[in-house]
Amino acid sequence: MLEKGSTSNPTGNLLVYCHVIGENPFQHGSEVIASNVVVSFLKINENLPVVTFPPVSYDTMDELQEVIYQNSEIYDIAKLPDFRMPSDKDEGNKYLQERMEQYNQFVMKYVELCKSKN
């Protein structure tokens, strides 16, 4: 599940990324999409508050790695499957919805790891 970090001892600060094959719908020409997920270990009842930040595009993987390197010790890192936006508009909308569902499921799995730690 994690490219970097421990599933038995998650930091609560997850960086998720994927490579873009073809056109990036968020920023033309960018090869990587990344997002940050922060899980607070301060429970509200039995729930852990979660903040998911909007996706950010990077021109290259090197550019993202430079950002990660500055604070690498605080991140868990996970790679999602490559992003391939269909050229057909209806197919593209369906694909974006599927990717959001995939992202949300991944976030929920990460939150469960954090709950298990607590």
pLDDT along the chain (118 residues), means of 10: 95 98 92 97 92 96 94 94 94 95 97 89
Say what the pTM is: 0.90
Question: 61 with 32: CB under 8 angstroms?
Answer: yes
* Residue 23 structure tokens: 């056109």
Dist CA 12 CA 23 (whole Å): 31
* Two tokens, residue 31: 């090869």
| pLDDT tens-digit readout, 84-96 | 999 899 999 999 9
Residues 81/11, Cβ–Cβ less than 8 Å: no
Alpha helices in the chain (DSSP H): 61-70, 89-117
Using DSSP bridges, classify how beta strands 50-52 and 32-39 pair: parallel, antiparallel or unpaired: antiparallel
How many angstroms separate the Cα of 16 from the Cα of each of 4, 56, 61, 87, 107?
Answer: 11, 10, 13, 24, 9
Alpha carbon distance 55, 66 (integer Å): 17
Q: What is the DSSP letter of 27?
A: S
